[in-house]
Homo-oligomer: A and B are copies of this chain.
């Protein structure tokens, strides 16, 4: 869409009203009929907005009852206080630092090279160490296809690759596949993370694709195990 779709702006409006307490957790949203009147739109549009909220874990629709606001504090999952880079980084008062270790041209690694044709395997390799309060948390290794992103300025690697891809280059990032495993780190990684040699590290590998299904980026994130936390909201979906 060029301008934001109506159902999306309604979803965003409802979302912020939930966030700011206008619809408290446990309460119900207005009925679909009431929302039709409120936003002056058709039922289908309201239902698409509510579907967005449902997919994001903000509400649960109950037949015959209504749309119930859920407790969306996924980051206060009731376990003791492990804090990750991305969590800490959201709170801006923390001293997060990104150190660029490599920024160079490299071919895609063998194990994922079958994602693309041979002539497109040229990539930019970026290795970055993320620290918080002088403590190393995670090493990110990115391969970004040069056929899609010809050049990555050093200043971009120091801040946010995604912001550059989406806002500057207008790339439409659509989906990714991820895997999480726990493996012994190589010596260099352990050294960077300030861990004893051969220590276990958490490895998150992702393959990222654009909206036209073209493969675009391969990322390996190597986490200190004591600073790793992954949280997820999952709906039980139809078995296909």
A residues whose Cβ falls under 8 Å from a Cβ of B: 8, 11-12, 15, 52-53, 55-58, 60, 62, 65, 68, 70, 74-75, 77-82, 111-112, 114, 173-182, 200, 202, 205, 207, 209, 211-213, 225-226, 228-240
Residues of B within 8 A of A112 (CB): 78
If A177-B75, A181-B228 touch, does A234 touch B82 (CB 8 Å cutoff)? Answer: yes
Given contacts A62-B212, A202-B182, contact A177 B237 (CB under 8 A): no
- A240 x B205 contact (CB < 8 A): no
Copies assembled: 2
For A81, the chain B residues whose CB sits under 8 A away are 234-237
The list of the 3 closest CB pairs from A to B, nearest first, reads A15-B240, A182-B225, A180-B230
B234 touches A57 (CB 8 A): no
CB of A178 within 8 A of CB of B211, answer no
Which of A12, A114, A174, A236 counts the most B-chain CB atoms under 10 A from its CB? A236
**Chain A binding surface SS class:** mixed
The one of B12, B179, B209, B234 in contact with A178, judged by C-beta atoms closer than 8 angstroms, is: B234
User: Contact: A181 with B79, CB < 8 Å?
Assistant: yes
Evaluate contact between A236 and B78: CB separation under 8 angstroms: no
| B182 and A111 contact, CB distance less than 8 A | no
Q: In this complex, which of A15, A179, A182, A202 has the most chain B Cβ atoms within 10 angstroms of its Cβ? A: A182
Please, how many angstroms separate the alpha-carbon atoms of A25 and B200 in the complex? 36
Would A175 and B234 count as touching, CB distance under 8 A? Answer: yes
